[in-house]
Chains A and B, each alone.
Chain A
């Protein structure tokens, strides 16, 4: 079998804080194949954004490997990394801070190509920018406008056009629709899925919204305090949840579906724990109603049924 497009091996990112080591990403092993979407779900502070940034090398990993087509890019030097960036890109959450307010839309989309110098000549550049704008559903008349004149949805399209400028194979999407209104959110999700079909892109889709992640992903990883607690193919995960956290997360989501109105809710007590110097045992134990003594031992991600991994010693198929 060919190597997956992206693979992380025991990836760790710890931050030094005055109160101790913050385990933002702890021993994460994931794979993403070409043209597929891996959804990363979790609440704020679970390390999902840091994971994306570590893969992009916006923050340097503490330990572990990030393999791109089998090669560890964490060992790459600046020059190799620059070349690497043509294959992997990122889009961001906040459509208001992710675009440089001093540059016009045309300039923003052209910027990556100017840096990499892969397009020669002004006319060719302009043509390429127009092509990208078309691809992302941006009318040509926005070429000379500035970001503040656009609303969130259109800004997010600009961010996407910028990411696509270098023809990447892999895009880290960090909560790209969370800041948008639902009707606009749907437009961007559709656009992302269309672009994936047309260009065979692979996504790592980071979000806290389970509905969105279910819609867009092929595989889903649920994160809690820096660790992956459950990982499976989309349909499998929504059919069977083994980790108590995943169960609680699913039942906490309010839906407009009236038939779910009187469902049994698994309300979680307490709040997300502290990721600084965590105890070796299960990090969810303090909120888990099934917690026992055995949960104080370190938990491994185990394969419960083929392709379905859970980090809980109680999970049984």
Chain B
């Protein structure tokens, strides 16, 4: 079998807070190959960001804890890797773009210096002139005039800051880019620009990308594969075509589709998903979506369904039960 760039198996992450244990990720498995764009869709609290942070081992100290499972990146077991290895991976091989571009920029360094620093950390042998050239080049690629490289982050607008964030994330030409809601804080017209830019650069450098978002539309337009997560599990995954043609979907995914008003067709009334996501401190035994599911049976409440696969498209629901399952 071909080796994957990133392979997450049965990941469990919990947050130990003063009041309770929050089960953020519960047995999440994913694979990603070189140059692929995977969209992770889910609502608040589904465990999307936690998964991304786990890949970089950036979970909050003491509070966040990986209790089970494995994350293998290019043959390296991330969970067992020491701090030194992780520092080499972060920023050079795996980089991240955050929702709030401000959080990844240092307010007291010019943007040129910050991009320079990334290069210094990961290419110590590169000459200063080469680095300068590289900084200019990447700024040009993200659409910022290189004359502005001596300016400070606060002198840029939100969309511009996100472009700088992208420049910093891509300057070391990483193999994997984690984008955690990169456009949620931006206006639609700016969002379109940024996503377009990310897609171009991703193709140019053949970078694999995980795009985390709550917006089904963003995934449909900018990704090749989709994973829908609910309560810390992947409940459906496949190619964009398989999931978005809506022929076969997990009841939750169907619910999401029905909840969004459409731009082109008229619906008298939206069909929302009833109820709320189950409390991550106290998860149900069977299917985690059972309480809100229109197809719920006795069995769903008692037994957790597996991911049932049909071609590349797998769904975690008894409705699509096949022999085996993962």
Residues on A lying within 8 angstroms of B by beta carbon are: 43-44, 151-153, 181-187, 189-190, 193, 208, 210-212, 214-216, 238, 248-258, 260-261, 265, 267-268, 271-272
Selected interface stretch from B74-82, B117-125, B145-153, B185-193: B185-193
Query: Are A211 and B189 in contact (CB-based, < 8 A)?
Result: no
Q: How far is the CA of A257 from the CA of B196 in the complex (A)?
A: 18
The answer to whether B109 has its CB under 8 Å from any CB of chain A is no
With A43-B189, A186-B272, A253-B217 given, name 13 new contacts (CB 8 A).
A187-B274, A215-B267, A248-B189, A252-B188, A253-B263, A254-B195, A254-B215, A254-B220, A255-B217, A256-B257, A258-B240, A268-B189, A271-B159
- CB contacts (< 8 Å) of B257 on chain A: these are 256
The answer to whether B262 has its CB under 8 Å from any CB of chain A is yes
Q: Mark B240-276, 1 if CB is under 8 A from A, else 0.
A: 1100110000000001111111111001011111101
Among A181, A182, A216, max chain B CB count under 10 A is at: A182
Query: Are B190 and A189 in contact (CB-based, < 8 A)?
Result: no
List the A residue with the shortest CB-CB distance to B188.
A252
Q: Using a CB-CB cutoff of 8 Å, which residues 266-299 of chain B contact chain A?
A: 267, 269-274, 276
Query: Are B159 and A186 in contact (CB-based, < 8 A)?
Result: no
Query: Are B188 and A253 in contact (CB-based, < 8 A)?
Result: yes
Query: Are B259 and A183 in contact (CB-based, < 8 A)?
Result: yes
Query: Are B188 and A181 in contact (CB-based, < 8 A)?
Result: no
- Smallest CB separation, A154 vs chain B (Å): 8
- CB contacts (< 8 Å) of B261 on chain A: these are 189, 211-212, 214-216
- CB contacts (< 8 Å) of B133 on chain A: these are none
Supply 23 A–B pairs (Cβ within 8 Å), ascending by A. A152-B44, A153-B276, A181-B44, A182-B216, A182-B259, A189-B261, A208-B187, A210-B188, A210-B263, A211-B260, A211-B261, A212-B261, A215-B267, A251-B192, A252-B188, A252-B192, A254-B218, A256-B219, A256-B260, A258-B240, A265-B192, A268-B192, A271-B190
Query: Are B193 and A257 in contact (CB-based, < 8 A)?
Result: no
Also in contact, A256 and B187, with CB within 8 A (given A182-B259, A189-B270): no
Q: How far is the CA of A193 from the CA of B272 in the complex (A)?
A: 13
Among B43, B195, B196, B276, max chain A CB count under 10 A is at: B276
Also in contact, A43 and B187, with CB within 8 A (given A183-B43, A183-B255, A185-B259): yes
- CB contacts (< 8 Å) of B188 on chain A: these are 43, 208, 210, 249, 252-253
Q: Mark B213-250, 1 if CB is under 8 A from A, else 0.
A: 01111111110000000000000000011001100000
- Smallest CB separation, A197 vs chain B (Å): 11
Also in contact, A182 and B260, with CB within 8 A (given A44-B187, A189-B270, A258-B241): yes
Query: Are B220 and A257 in contact (CB-based, < 8 A)?
Result: yes
Q: How far is the CA of A250 from the CA of B263 in the complex (A)?
A: 9
Query: Are A183 and B193 in contact (CB-based, < 8 A)?
Result: no
- CB contacts (< 8 Å) of A255 on chain B: these are 217, 220-221, 262-264
Q: Which of B160, B221, B272 contacts A190 (CB 8 A)?
A: B272
The answer to whether B157 has its CB under 8 Å from any CB of chain A is yes
List the A residue with the shortest CB-CB distance to B260.
A182
Query: Are A215 and B220 in contact (CB-based, < 8 A)?
Result: no
Residue tally, chain B, CB below 8 Å to A: 45
Also in contact, A182 and B214, with CB within 8 A (given A211-B263, A214-B263): yes
Query: Are A187 and B272 in contact (CB-based, < 8 A)?
Result: yes
- Smallest CB separation, B270 vs chain A (Å): 4
- CB contacts (< 8 Å) of B187 on chain A: these are 43-44, 208, 272
Q: How far is the CA of A208 from the CA of B263 in the complex (A)?
A: 14
Q: Which of A184, A189, A210, A254 contacts B222 (CB 8 A)?
A: A254
- Smallest CB separation, B304 vs chain A (Å): 21
Q: How far is the CA of A53 from the CA of B220 in the complex (A)?
A: 36
Query: Are B245 and A258 in contact (CB-based, < 8 A)?
Result: yes
- Smallest CB separation, A304 vs chain B (Å): 22
Also in contact, A186 and B191, with CB within 8 A (given A153-B276, A215-B261, A258-B220): no
- Smallest CB separation, A209 vs chain B (Å): 8
- Smallest CB separation, B203 vs chain A (Å): 16
Query: Are B263 and A181 in contact (CB-based, < 8 A)?
Result: no
Query: Are A193 and B269 in contact (CB-based, < 8 A)?
Result: yes
List the B residue with the shortest CB-CB distance to A272.
B187
Q: How far is the CA of A310 from the CA of B102 in the complex (A)?
A: 37
List the B residue with the shortest CB-CB distance to A258.
B244
Query: Are B43 and A261 in contact (CB-based, < 8 A)?
Result: no
- CB contacts (< 8 Å) of B218 on chain A: these are 254
Among B195, B214, B215, B267, max chain A CB count under 10 A is at: B215
Q: How far is the CA of A151 from the CA of B276 in the complex (A)?
A: 9
Q: Which are the 7 A-B pairs with shortest beta-carbon distances?
A: A254-B217, A215-B261, A186-B272, A186-B259, A43-B187, A252-B192, A181-B43
- CB contacts (< 8 Å) of A193 on chain B: these are 269
Q: Mark B180-211, 1 if CB is under 8 A from A, else 0.
A: 00000001111111011000000000000000
- CB contacts (< 8 Å) of B262 on chain A: these are 211, 255, 257
Among A212, A215, A249, A268, max chain B CB count under 10 A is at: A215
Q: How far is the CA of A249 from the CA of B263 in the complex (A)?
A: 12
- CB contacts (< 8 Å) of B192 on chain A: these are 251-252, 254, 265, 267-268
- CB contacts (< 8 Å) of B43 on chain A: these are 181-183
